[in-house]
């Protein structure tokens, strides 16, 4: 089993339409596929289309193959993955990589520059030290030694990754270790969506570990209704707000699913690359809507690092659609960007 994340889901979204087996009075003919990948589960709903004779078994095989391939390229839970091999490569050595791995690295760098380094795929060793990475299951859930944090922080930094656009090769100029867990699930969603589009489907939902991409209509015959979860560890599956979406991806990042507590303080799996410590602010969850799922996934993590004020500022400046739930004494207060407004009903 190849794992990207150690738990079922990180922060998440809920899909709100009623599952109607096959076709009912109100439901369009559709089928669902489910399975596991990247240490979590996937769920896919596809509306039938006239003229397309789908062999669901073949479709599922193609999807599983695609996801296995992505794992083989990007997993840090798999020693022989392309990424793990690069992580063992020497400083300065150019390594030729697959188009998929190269693409996701380009997007990761874009997100790093956009967010002033809040997104940084070299924080893997720190994620591990805090007990949230591949070695996490063997790690105690306690605050690590400050000296160890500082040492790993000095060894990190996305600026040490160089990409050669002419021949898909990469190298590091410092002994950094790359971890794509914050963006790979979204990338998997995009690849599955591409496969469905290629097979001729126009209406579907693809979800991997809470990352979603929606196309066309839901079985209700209307755009997809997605619920943003109440960011409360004890309120599993309770909805805070519903949004109506189509032709986009949606991702949520938060501190309420994957964390530990020590001396009354919460330490979550999102690491601030400037301090080496988990993010520490009033943002309980942030939901991002964007075209690509990889981008939404990565951006949600990055903006979660920035915190509510800086995230909103960047969102307004760049026209990003974000919805945040900020902790207050009364509960959670919603704050959202101009670009998110059209999705609220």
Which residues in this chain contact ligand ADP in the complex, by CB under 6 A? 5, 10-11, 119-121, 123, 127, 132-133, 179, 181-182, 253-254, 269-271, 273, 297, 300-301, 304-305
| Residue 69: alpha-carbon gap to chain centroid | 18
Among 168, 301, 335, 337, binds Mg ion (CB under 5 A): 301
* Residue number, 46 or 182, with CB nearest to ligand ADP: 182
* Residue number, 218 or 293, with CB nearest to ligand ADP: 293
User: Counting contacts by CB under 5 A, is residue 297 touching Mg ion?
Assistant: yes
Name 314's Cβ contacts closer than 8 Å, sequence gap at least 6: 114, 115, 303, 306, 320
Instruction: Pick one of Mg ion, ligand ADP, none as the site partner of residue 104 (Cβ within 5 to 8 A by kind).
Output: none
Rounded CA separation 311/298 (Å): 13
Rounded CA separation 228/100 (Å): 30
* Residue number, 219 or 307, with CB nearest to ligand ADP: 307
* Residue number, 30 or 269, with CB nearest to ligand ADP: 269
H or E element in which residue 129 lies: helix 124-129
Structure tokens at 231: 């960011």
Rounded CA separation 297/293 (Å): 6
Strand partners, 134: none
* Residue number, 149 or 288, with CB nearest to Mg ion: 288
Sign of the dihedral defined by the CA atoms of residues 228, 231, 233, 235, in that order: negative
Structure tokens at 310: 């800086």
Pairing of strands 211-215, 259-262: unpaired
Question: For residues 164-193, which are near Mg ion according to CB under 5 A?
Answer: 182
For the CB of residue 298, give the shortest distance to ligand ADP in the complex, in Å: 7
Instruction: Pick one of ligand ADP, Mg ion, none as the site partner of residue 203 (Cβ within 5 to 8 A by kind).
Output: none
Rounded CA separation 183/106 (Å): 12
Instruction: Pick one of Mg ion, ligand ADP, none as the site partner of residue 292 (Cβ within 5 to 8 A by kind).
Output: none
For the CB of residue 93, give the shortest distance to ligand ADP in the complex, in Å: 24
Which residues contact Mg ion by CB under 5 A? Answer: 182, 297, 301
């Amino acid at each position: 089993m190849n794992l990207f994340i150690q738990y079922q889901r990180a922060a998440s979204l809920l899909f709100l339409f009623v599952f109607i087996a096959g076709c009912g009075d109100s439901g369009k003919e559709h089928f669902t596929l489910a399975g596991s990948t990247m240490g979590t589960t996937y769920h896919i709903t596809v509306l039938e289309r006239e003229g397309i004779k789908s062999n669901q078994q073949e479709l599922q095989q193609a999807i599983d193959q695609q996801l296995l391939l992505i794992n083989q390229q990007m997993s840090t839970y798999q020693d022989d993955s392309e990424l793990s091999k690069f992580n063992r490569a020497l400083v300065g050595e150019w390594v030729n990589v697959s188009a998929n791995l190269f693409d996701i690295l380009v997007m990761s760098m874009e997100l790093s520059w956009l967010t002033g380094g809040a997104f940084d795929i070299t924080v893997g060793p720190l994620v591990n030290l805090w007990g949230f990475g591949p070695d996490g299951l063997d790690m105690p859930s306690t605050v690590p030694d400050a000296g160890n944090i500082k040492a790993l922080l000095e060894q990190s930094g996305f600026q040490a990754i160089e990409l050669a656009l002419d021949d898909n090769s990469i190298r590091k100029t410092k002994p950094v270790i790359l971890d794509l867990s914050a963006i790979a699930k979204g990338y998997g969603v995009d690849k599955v969506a591409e496969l469905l589009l290629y097979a001729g489907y126009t209406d579907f939902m693809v979800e991997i570990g809470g990352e979603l991409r929606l196309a066309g209509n839901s079985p209700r015959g209307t755009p997809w209704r997605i619920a943003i979860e109440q960011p409360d560890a004890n309120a599993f599956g309770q909805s805070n707000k519903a949004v109506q979406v189509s032709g986009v991806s949606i991702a949520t990042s938060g501190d309420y699913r994957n964390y530990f507590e020590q001396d009354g303080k919460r330490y979550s799996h999102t690491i601030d690359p400037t301090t080496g410590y988990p993010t520490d602010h009033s943002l309980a969850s942030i939901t991002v809507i964007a075209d690509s799922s990889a981008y939404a996934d990565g951006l949600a993590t990055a903006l979660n690092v920035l915190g509510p004020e800086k995230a909103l500022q960047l969102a307004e400046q760049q026209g990003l659609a974000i919805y945040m739930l900020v902790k207050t004494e009364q509960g959670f207060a919603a704050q959202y960007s101009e670009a998110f407004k059209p999705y609220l009903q």
